[in-house]
Amino acid sequence: MIVVLRLGHRRARDPRVTTHVCLAARALGADAVWVSERDRALEGGVRAAVERFGGPFEVRTGVPWRQAMRDFSGVRVHLTMYGEPIDKRVAAVRRSARGRDIMLVVGGAKVPGDVYGMADFNLAVTNQPHSEVAALAVALDRLTAGAWARKRFKGARVAVRPSARGKDVVRRGDEEE
């Protein structure tokens, strides 16, 4: 199981970015996202997507993050532009996990300094400033070895069939099964 822990969500400044974190987490192979700040609207939006496109996927907001990190029994991976190159350490993360859960910690602009010490790994998707959404996407890709491409979601009301030109949306019940 992979949990994404999102720190530094600023509802006023960048409400959309955390939504992107949550939906990318779901689409690319995480099982849950925990957001440190309380945000009911965010929760509702993500749950609506899960209901429509399938799950399971858990979203929680207002999560006491230090406690969540401390109590986590698996491997804690903090994504940061200051960390070690992810491609050099991903095998070590997998070895260290050995079937245990993985927590991916992603911050906003400023991350409290103690996160670096609480994490088992501090990993960088490039040592350049960019985006926690992009970093999360690449990290999930590496940790699951691209398994997101084969992921199936359950209980979807709506599914998209791949198409070279345009949109092919299937509503549940329409399918010939």
77-116: contacts with its own copies (CB under 8 A): 81-85, 87, 113, 116
Of 100, 105, 124, 129, give the one whose Cα is nearest residue 21: 105
Q: Say how many Å lie between the first and final Cα of the chain, rounded.
A: 30
> Count of residues binding its own copies (CB under 8 A)?
57
Q: How far is the CB of 97 from its own copies (least distance, A)?
A: 17
Residue closer to its own copies by CB (options 19, 61) is 19
Residue from 40, 161, 175, 177 touching its own copies (CB under 8 A): that is 161
Give the length of the chain. Answer: 177
In angstroms, the CA 68 to CA 121 distance is 16
Residue from 98, 164, 175, 177 touching its own copies (CB under 8 A): that is 164
Segment interacting with its own copies, rule: CB under 8 A, options 36-44, 64-72, 94-102, 149-157: 149-157
In angstroms, the CA 127 to CA 150 distance is 30
Does 7 help bind its own copies (rule: CB under 8 A)?
A: no
Token pair for residue 44? 């509702």
| Cβ atoms 33, 7 nearer than 8 A | no
| Cβ atoms 116, 78 nearer than 8 A | yes
* Interface contacts to its own copies, rule CB under 8 A: 13-17, 19-21, 23-24, 26-28, 49, 53, 81-85, 87, 113, 116-117, 121-122, 124-131, 133-138, 141, 146, 148-149, 151, 153, 159-169
